Amino acid sequence: MRTGHETELRTDGDESSSKPPLEIGLVIAGRMDDARMQAVETMRDRLAGRLQRDFDQFRWVLRIVNRSETRLRRPGSVRVEPTELLEIGQTERESYRWDFIIVITQSDLRTHDKPFAMGIVARVQDAAILSTSRLDPEGVSATARPQDRGDLLATRLLALALHALGHLNGLAHMDDPHNIMYEPATPADLNTMASWTAEQKEDVAANLRLIADVRLEEQVDALRSSRLSFYLKGTWVNRHEIADAVLQAHPWEFPRRLARLTTAAFSTALILLMTAETWDLASSVSPGKLLILIVIALSVTTAFVTARQRLLVRRTRRLTEQTVVANVAVVAIVLSGMMTTFFGLLGTTLAFQVLVFRTSVVRTWAASLQEPWTFAHSLVVASFVAALGLVIGAFGASFEEYNYFRHVAFVDEET
Ligand SMILES: [Zn+2]
């Protein structure tokens, strides 16, 4: 079964089976010792068996691709960056037609939200990362026999893989410590996470059915259509998946998580508010022009951040539906994040105006305004200031560390 760097396991040998196929690619990234490799293979076999038993309406294919030669760590850093591993997974996916990617590494994962992580879930990319670093009971009980060690590692990897697949298929956490969707706090918690409820199974099955549907790129007309119409069609067909991915990314937390962007945007807004010319200029802008200004500010910042942080998946080969989903989702995530920041700025500047600036002062600043000052004028000034603040803020975002922004955009959970 072993061919060079790859091993493949089909749970149903009959290729001509009428069951729709579902493929999971397990990518070994970076050096992995024999004991762990063995545990990964055991886990793959158990996972394949489990999925075939629980979701027998599909034909499961699980392939291990060994990329242990990949050099991960940059000199001096102990932990490996999850977004780097996601990229490795995406590169491999180009060669195969995988529905899910699970990247497995022996290195510890760098985290941004939690002190440590055993796994990472990235819904936009249908990908998960598992790290054996903290799962390996080696450090916990030195007296354990090697086979027990391997068995426990495989058990924990399996629980983590199922947990990730649960998230990738839209499941949320459960309080029951025996449930696969329990949120594990320690590696030992994984030992008991083994079951799903009938309802969870149904939800996963429903989502898998959508995924197993004939992929768009396999339809004859898709091959003939232009890039744009392929994108439009792909977006429409996957609109629910894209909406889910955006919700999972919590774009409303962007202002809090992207501190540099937010600081730059708010500082700009404050300075603009303290400038008389802003009031004079903004109060004479018509609502139509203001709307155009806001649309431009949101588009420019979204495009700038997406390009600058290299968030789009680029394909050297033909365009696939998965690429369309990943790219449209990430643009929607950034756009929603920008809109959150914009409305946050708008609300804050408006409140600041109403509370701090007396109308008599404002009136003298907006010198060229011929009519009496109303709330509508305050709203116009606040929108103007928020739009400009956002643009400057996006330049601030370019100072966010490269991997951090990608992390915010792609990673849904550190487990
Ligand atoms: Zn979780």
Which domains does the chain possess?
2-212 (3.40.390.10), 224-414 (no CATH)
What residue type is 140 in one-letter code?
Answer: V
Question: Is residue 284 helix, strand or coil?
Answer: coil
Q: What is the pLDDT of residue 56?
A: 94
Distance of CA 197 from the midpoint of ligand 1 (Å): 16
For residue 59, how far is its CA from the centre of ligand 1 (angstroms)? 26
Instruction: Measure 256 CA to ligand 1 centroid, in angstroms.
Output: 22
Per-residue pLDDT of the chain (415 residues; tens, 9 = 90+): 433 466 777 765 555 567 888 999 999 998 888 989 999 999 999 999 999 999 999 999 999 999 877 777 665 567 888 988 998 898 888 778 789 999 999 999 999 888 999 999 998 888 999 999 998 765 555 566 777 888 999 999 999 999 999 999 989 999 999 999 999 999 999 999 999 999 999 999 999 988 887 555 555 555 667 888 888 988 998 898 889 888 888 889 888 888 888 999 999 999 999 888 898 888 888 889 999 999 999 999 999 988 888 888 776 666 777 788 889 999 999 999 999 999 999 999 999 888 888 888 888 888 888 888 888 888 999 999 999 999 988 887 666 677 788 888 888 888 9
| Distance from the alpha carbon of residue 173 to the mean position of ligand 1, in angstroms | 6
Instruction: Give residue 95's pLDDT.
Output: 78
Half-sphere exposure of 300 (CA within 13 A, CB side): 16
Ligand 1 centroid to residue 336 C-alpha, Å: 23
CA 296–ligand 1 middle distance (angstroms): 37
What's the 360 CA to ligand 1 centre distance in angstroms? 55
Distance in Å, CA 131 to ligand 1 centroid = 15
Q: How far is the CA of 51 from the centre of ligand 1 (A)?
A: 19
What is the CA(97)–ligand 1 centre distance, in A?
26
Q: Give residues whose Cβ lies within 5 Å of ion ligand 1.
A: 413, 415
**What pLDDT, on the 0 to 100 scale, is given for residue 317?**
63
Residue 217 has a pLDDT of: 54
Contacts 24+ apart (CB under 8 A), 373-379: 377/283, 378/350, 378/353, 378/354, 379/350
DSSP state of 364: H
Buried b (16+ CB within 10 A) or exposed e, 7-31: bbbbbeeeeeeeeeebbbbbbbbbe
| Distance from Cα 163 to the centre of ligand 1, integer Å | 6
Q: How far is the CA of 159 from the centre of ligand 1 (A)?
A: 11
> Judging by DSSP bridges, how do beta strands 6-10 and 59-67 pair with one another?
antiparallel
Which pLDDT score, from 0 to 100, does residue 73 have? 63
Nearest residue to 257 via CA among 138, 112, 156: 112
- Give the integer Cα–Cα distance in Å for 150 and 243: 40
Q: Which of 299, 310, 415 is nearest to 87 (CA)?
A: 310
| Res 144: pLDDT | 63
Contacts of 332 (CB under 8 A, 6+ apart): 242, 245, 246
Nearest-angstrom CA–CA distance, 148 and 33: 16
Cα–ligand 1 centroid distance for 89 (angstroms):
20
- In the reported structure, the alpha carbon of residue 396 is separated from the centroid of ligand 1 by a whole-number distance in angstroms of 32
Tokens 């793959």, residue located: 44
Beta strands at 119-122 and 127-131: parallel, antiparallel or unpaired: antiparallel
User: CA–CA separation, 352 vs 382, rounded Å?
Assistant: 9
Over the Cα atoms of the chain, what is R_g? Answer: 25
pLDDT on residue 91: 84
pLDDT of residue 94: 75
Across the strands, what pairs with 103? 27, 129
Report yes or no on whether pTM surpasses 0.85. no
